[in-house]
Amino acid sequence: MQFQCSKTTITSCQLCFTLLYFSLLSTTVFAEGAKISLKGEGIKIKQGETQFQIKARMMWDYDTFDGIHNDGESGSDSELRHTRLTFKSKLNNALQAKLQIDFDQDDETTSSVETGVGDAYIQYTGWDYFWVTVGRAKEPFGLERMSSSRYITTIERSMATGAFAPGRNIGVGLSGNADNMTWAVGLYQVNEEDEEEENHNDYGITAQLTHTPWHGHNNLLHLGIAGSVRNFGGKKYQIKERAEVHTAEKIVKSAKILADKVNLFGLEAAWVKGSFSLQTEYMMAVIKAETEAEDVNYAGYYLQSSYFLTGESRSYKKGRFGKIKPNAKSGAYELLARYSVLDAVDNNAGVEATNITLGINYYMNEQARLMANYINTELSGEDSDESGNAFSFRIQYSF
């Protein structure tokens, strides 16, 4: 097995080593009286205000698919979807840092493991009304994107989230929360890879606001809005997404556009009532063309529901959903369904994809989960209508 560093992570290496040094520095202040805890996830070392934590996660996936997912043929594949080490350091009540190192299977060869950087930031929380985050972090956009992959209901995030919600980028962000609201805004370096040119660095401003009108015991309503203004500087913009099957081909494609600016907009809502939950998001991108070509708009959405057969309820804190704690030693069972759409058609080019997902999750405990999804995909556009089916399985463990 070979290890290699992806092109998108090379620019983050100096930041990665800086934060690793910052994290390890905190361990030098511990004396013999430090408390070591193995409760929950990871290993925690704490003395006074100083704390150091190491966590890890592993996700192994297996997919089998046919039809449009694989040029009309049956196929299957497996992969290490996420293998991650997380280091958290807290020097005092106001200054902390986080570093994540990923070891994921390379998309292009099953014999290689691609190393990369997840979160890599320093955060100051000493002010009453807002926090400052400097480094590489998720841009604040979308309920599904901001939730950890450990806690999302389906194996893969929706097509709309993959196409429109920004991921992690280097930047400076401000965030805060008060009572039943959260807010975040940041300036980020937008790294876009061009197939024919080297990476280009431009900048974008992204913001999110969430509101929880009520939040009682196992009963809540979450509402949110997000937006992003991104300078593209004439680079090519194109939607290229898989239909929620990660080892299959990228089949949802739009036309290629030389974009001057890309403006993103998102709405989100979730309702939890006991063991039942309902979640939905709508996202769109408005692309301002650099040339005389017409501007284009793309959009997508999903509607998702879940129900715990064993009586649990989704946990929620500060605008995000968290881990599930089974009520009994025998574990927890969750049924799920999702309907998602990604419309990448405009100016008589591109395709539209519709997915129906049914699944079941088994939570052995707070650290281990088994997941199974069935996905039916319908693809239309460019004078063709095609379909395909897929079954996805995941074994997930975190410690």
Taking 50 as the threshold, does the pLDDT of residue 94 lie above it? yes
Q: What is the pLDDT of residues 329-387, one digit of tens each?
A: 999 999 999 999 999 998 888 999 999 999 999 999 999 999 999 999 999 986 567 99
Mean pLDDT of 69-84: 90
Instruction: Look at strands 131-138 and 95-105 and give their pairing.
Output: unpaired
**Cβ–Cβ under 8 Å, residues 157 and 150:** no
Tokens of residue 100, six digits:
């994540």
pLDDT for the residue numbered 399: 86
Tokens of residue 281, six digits:
């998001």
Nearest to 321 by CA among 218, 176, 398: 218
Q: What is the pLDDT of residues 283-296, one digit of tens each?
A: 999 999 887 778 89
For the chain, the structural domain boundaries read: 2-398
pLDDT category at 2 given cuts 50, 70, 90 is very low
How far, in Å, CA of 135 to CA of 172, rounded?
Answer: 7
Taking 60 as the threshold, does the pLDDT of residue 7 lie above it? no
Taking 80 as the threshold, does the pLDDT of residue 30 lie above it? no
Taking 90 as the threshold, does the pLDDT of residue 33 lie above it? no
372: Cβ–Cβ under 8 A, 6 or more apart, which residues?
Answer: 359, 360, 361, 391, 392, 393, 394
- Percent of the chain residues past pLDDT 70, beyond the cut: 86
Mean pLDDT of 300-314: 97
Tokens of residue 360, six digits:
């079941």
pLDDT top residue among 40 and 274? 274
The CATH classification number of 2-398 equals 2.40.160.10
Q: What is the pLDDT of residues 208-234, one digit of tens each?
A: 999 999 998 899 999 999 999 999 888
pLDDT category at 182 given cuts 50, 70, 90 is very high
pLDDT for the residue numbered 345: 93
